[in-house]
Amino acid sequence: MTLPTCEQALASAREGSPFSNGTEGYAWMENNCERCVHDAATRRDDWANGCPLILVALLGKTPAEWLRKDHAHMGDQYTCIYFRDEDDGGPGEPTPIPDPPGQEGLFPRDEFERPCLMFADTAPRLAERETAGAL
């Protein structure tokens, strides 16, 4: 599953800004975009290869790839289906389980297709920040 281009993301985006002010936007991006592998290029000042979903949000539309969540917590309003933490490690896509050695398969195996990406919840990160701020 690859990121959409900016044009594709803009075409499928919902009308309306995803955040009511800059503070909400920065809080959400700190919890998500600043840890995501898809926006790592931007952190290295390679602006042309950054995440196109952020650009769509900055243009005043809500990307369809951002699923709306609880608005009670700042920085936890949406879940991005493309989010992948830099600390996840491992291959980018899962690989199919190989056939056991010395055993023939009854049916040919299709290529593995993942219907959607799992996401990492940002709640533990929020709890760590709230605890650190209380000290």
SS3 64: coil
Strand partners, 15: 61
User: Which has more pLDDT, 36 or 127?
Assistant: 36
Q: What is the pLDDT of residues 29-47, one digit of tens each?
A: 999 999 999 999 988 999 8
Q: What is the mean pLDDT of residues 95-116?
A: 68
Q: What are the structural domain ranges in the chain?
A: 1-86
Q: How many helices (H) and strands (E) does the chain have?
A: 5, 4
pLDDT at 128 over 60: no
Measured between alpha carbons, how far is 35 from 38 in angstroms, rounded to an integer?
9
Q: What is the mean pLDDT of residues 40-66?
A: 92
